[in-house]
């Protein structure tokens, strides 16, 4: 039986386009359930092997516009009971102490604000990275850098800051391995940077997270 993964959709903070990119990348290996704010409950989460919060538009502080205490507590209790959390871009920011507060001693902030960042735009860009030591590149849209010592680092940005990590039951990815070819065209980026294999990197990451 495939593990069950729930993917949260709430435009514009967690966009349908980002969620569908995750579905396309994960569907062969996981039983996928998309859900909205009304299903962000302990009962629904208890049916999942992992809950996923994708990227979207706006500032991470938009968190406070959509989530009530009951939603935050539901996620926190789910993680405390052994559930797994995947955050991509916006969802990765939300794992931090100012939002769901499900990480320990990590600083999760804008990569573009780092003094050594090689990206200076908060719009679409291509980030040069290392994933498990291999040089690569990936779609980027104002993603986070993850700073701290107590985490397993899967990928780093060009400056060495962590881009994809797992800490306990929480996985975070700053870039967009789920990006589709159209995203590059819409962002006026060369389509040669699109790589379908990035979806497999995401799939392997989720498998490792669930099996942690």
Average pLDDT, rounded, for the chain: 95
Across the range 41-63, mean pLDDT stands at: 90
Residue 61 in this model has a pLDDT that exceeds 80: no
Task: Pick the more confident residue, 12 or 103.
Answer: 103
CATH number at 153 reads: 3.40.50.880
Q: What is the mean pLDDT of residues 59-80?
A: 90
**For residue 198, what are the domain limits?**
4-211
CB neighbours of residue 113 within 10 Å: 12
Domain count, the chain: 1
145 DSSP assignment: E
**pLDDT computed for residue 212 by the predictor:** 74
Confidence of residue 163 (pLDDT cuts 50, 70, 90): very high
- Span 143-160, pLDDT tens digits: 999 999 999 999 999 999
Q: Quick one: pLDDT band at residue 60, thresholds 50, 70, 90?
A: confident
Rounded alpha-carbon distances, angstroms, from residue 125 to 67, 119, 129, 173, 203: 29, 8, 12, 15, 22
Please tell me the predicted confidence (pLDDT) of residue 26: 97
Tens of pLDDT, residue by residue over 11-46, are 888 899 999 999 999 999 999 999 999 999 999 999
Q: What is the pLDDT of residue 43?
A: 98
**How much is the pLDDT for 67?**
93
* Burial per residue of 167-197, b for 16 or more beta-carbon CB atoms within 10 angstroms, e otherwise: bbbbbbbbbbbbbbeebbeeeebeeebbbee
Residue 1 has what pLDDT?
87
Q: Residue 57 pLDDT > 90, yes or no?
A: no
């Amino acid at each position: 039986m495939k593990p069950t993964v729930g993917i949260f959709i709430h435009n514009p903070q967690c966009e349908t386009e980002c969620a569908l990119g995750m579905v396309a990348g994960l569907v062969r290996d996981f039983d996928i359930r998309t859900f909205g704010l009304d299903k962000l409950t302990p009962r629904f989460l208890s049916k999942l092997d992992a809950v996923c919060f994708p990227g979207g538009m706006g500032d991470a502080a938009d968190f406070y516009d959509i989530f009530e205490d009951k939603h935050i507590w539901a996620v926190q209790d789910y993680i405390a009971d052994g559930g797994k959390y995947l955050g991509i871009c916006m969802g990765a920011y939300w794992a931090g102490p100012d939002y769901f507060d499900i990480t320990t001693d990590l600083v999760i902030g804008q990569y573009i604000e780092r003094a050594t960042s090689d990206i200076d735009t908060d719009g679409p860009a291509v980030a040069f990275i290392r994933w498990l030591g291999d040089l690569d590149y990936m779609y980027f849209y104002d993603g986070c850098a993850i700073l701290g010592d107590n985490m397993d680092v899967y990928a780093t940005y060009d400056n060495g800051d962590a881009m994809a990590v797992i800490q306990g039951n929480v996985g975070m990815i700053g870039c967009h391995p789920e990006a589709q070819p159209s995203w590059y065209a819409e962002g006026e980026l060369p389509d040669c940077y699109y790589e379908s294999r990035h979806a497999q990197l995401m799939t392997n990451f989720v498998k490792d997270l669930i099996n942690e």
